[in-house]
């Protein structure tokens, strides 16, 4: 694989591991082809100004060495992003024999509430041990510890392995004294997919629902049928065409737990969706909000002007901190947390 370091540097611009970049129609990122709203922060404008050209071909994830190198490189990058926050935190493996997960803690936190975090990465990248910026910010905004799930990744472990790990983490918390009403679930990108699919599977298996869901730029339509998948590729600064086939092996891409946009959403808890106007997954979030309302789910769709895919994981832009503040307020409200505590 030639020029792999350049490929990884481009991938590392993603502020939280996102679905794998693949070839798209050529375009030069920047203000010339992608006008930047003047109202966004100078730091966010700098993000656009500093974009590198997208690779002309996708990474060869069928090559184990390429995939391992990319995972390692991105892991170091994301861990460095967490250091930029300047937060002293502890990451401790949870004492579960059913799923690998890690407690993320910093400072004084409540012990009667918990948030489950499911990281992004297209179901092939990312780690609970390195994708830390967003959960650290959300933890700070809620005062609640985060259980970050190290779910199994494709292509080694295709669907439904990662989903089963997410449900195992929820079951483990219930078995260890947490009530469903004391548990919130959030995830970004592919983790947003799992954060929606897991409560669906829990419902179908007769489990009570968690208190609230937060989905950040969720990748929920593996068929890529939404309008923005056709209109936004040239304007999305982060995502190329997702490679869903390595995750959904021998299962239809419109399976409701692979593409939970198409699921029956009845009975799900209140839901907050955050998505940017500059991402190809925008229409997925819009359609999900509409479907949720039709199913009687209390849903808030928050569309951020000028923001890209999973901007919440950027360690420097103020919009990321603002988004975390809104996530924190949503969780505090639905988990019954007094913001004065």
Which residues belong to the active site?
Answer: 189, 279, 309
pTM (2 decimals)?
0.90
pLDDT average, residue stretch 102-111: 96
Confidence of residue 33 (pLDDT cuts 50, 70, 90): low
CATH of range 4-335; options 3.30.930.10, 3.40.50.1820, 3.30.1330.30, 3.90.1150.10: 3.40.50.1820
**In this model, does residue 308 exceed pLDDT 50?**
yes
pLDDT average, residue stretch 23-32: 44
**In this model, does residue 259 exceed pLDDT 50?**
yes
Q: What is the pLDDT at residue 158?
A: 96
Q: What is the pLDDT at residue 3?
A: 31
| 183 contacts 210 by C-beta, under 8 angstroms | yes
Confidence of residue 18 (pLDDT cuts 50, 70, 90): very low
**C-alpha to C-alpha distance for 215 and 219, rounded to whole angstroms:** 9
Least reliable range by pLDDT among 16-25, 70-79, 106-115, 244-253: 16-25
Confidence of residue 239 (pLDDT cuts 50, 70, 90): confident
Among residues 10, 26, 20, the alpha carbon closest in space to that of 234 is found at: 26
Q: What is the pLDDT at residue 176?
A: 97
**In this model, does residue 30 exceed pLDDT 80?**
no
**C-alpha to C-alpha distance for 145 and 104, rounded to whole angstroms:** 6
**C-alpha to C-alpha distance for 62 and 174, rounded to whole angstroms:** 38
**C-alpha to C-alpha distance for 179 and 297, rounded to whole angstroms:** 20
**In this model, does residue 98 exceed pLDDT 90?**
yes
Residue 61 DSSP SS3: coil
Give residue-wise pLDDT tens across range 83-96. 999 999 999 999 99
| 163 contacts 113 by C-beta, under 8 angstroms | no
Average pLDDT score, the chain:
88
The pair phi, psi for residue 184, each rounded to 5°, is: -110, 155
**C-alpha to C-alpha distance for 163 and 198, rounded to whole angstroms:** 6
The domain spans of the chain are 4-335
């Amino acid at each position: 694989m030639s020029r792999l370091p350049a490929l990884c540097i481009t991938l590392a611009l993603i502020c939280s591991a996102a679905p794998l970049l693949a070839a798209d129609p050529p375009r030069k990122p920047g203000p010339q082809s992608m006008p930047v709203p003047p109202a966004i922060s100078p730091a966010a404008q700098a993000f656009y100004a500093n974009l590198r050209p997208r690779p002309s071909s996708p990474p060869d994830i069928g090559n184990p060495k390429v995939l391992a190198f990319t995972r390692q490189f991105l892991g170091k990058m994301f861990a460095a992003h967490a250091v930029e926050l300047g937060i002293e935190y502890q990451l401790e493996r949870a004492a579960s024999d059913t799923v690998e997960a890690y407690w993320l803690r910093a400072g004084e936190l409540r012990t009667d509430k918990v948030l489950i975090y499911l990281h992004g990465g297209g179901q092939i990248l990312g780690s609970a041990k390195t994708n830390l910026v967003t959960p650290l910010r959300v933890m700070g905004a809620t005062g609640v510890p985060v259980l970050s799930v190290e779910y199994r990744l494709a292509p080694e472990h295709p669907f439904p392995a990662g989903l089963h790990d997410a449900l195992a983490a929820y079951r483990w918390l219930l078995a260890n004294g947490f009530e469903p009403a004391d548990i919130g679930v959030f995830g970004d990108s592919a983790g947003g997919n799992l954060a929606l699919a897991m409560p669906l599977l829990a419902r179908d298996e007769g489990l009570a629902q968690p208190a609230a869901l937060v989905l950040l730029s969720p990748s929920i339509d593996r068929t890529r049928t939404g309008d923005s998948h056709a209109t936004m590729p040239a304007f999305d600064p982060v995502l190329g065409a997702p490679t869903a086939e390595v995750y959904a092996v021998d299962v239809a891409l419109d399976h409701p737990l692979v593409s939970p946009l198409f699921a029956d959403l009845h009975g799900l808890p209140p839901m907050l969706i955050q998505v940017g106007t500059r991402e190809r997954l925008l229409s997925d979030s819009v359609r999900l909000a509409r479907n949720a309302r039709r199913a009687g789910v209390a849903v808030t769709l928050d569309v951020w002007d000028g923001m890209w895919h999973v901007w919440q994981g950027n360690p420097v832009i103020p919009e990321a901190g603002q988004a975390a503040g809104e996530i924190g307020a949503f969780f505090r409200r639905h988990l019954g947390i007094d913001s004065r505590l």
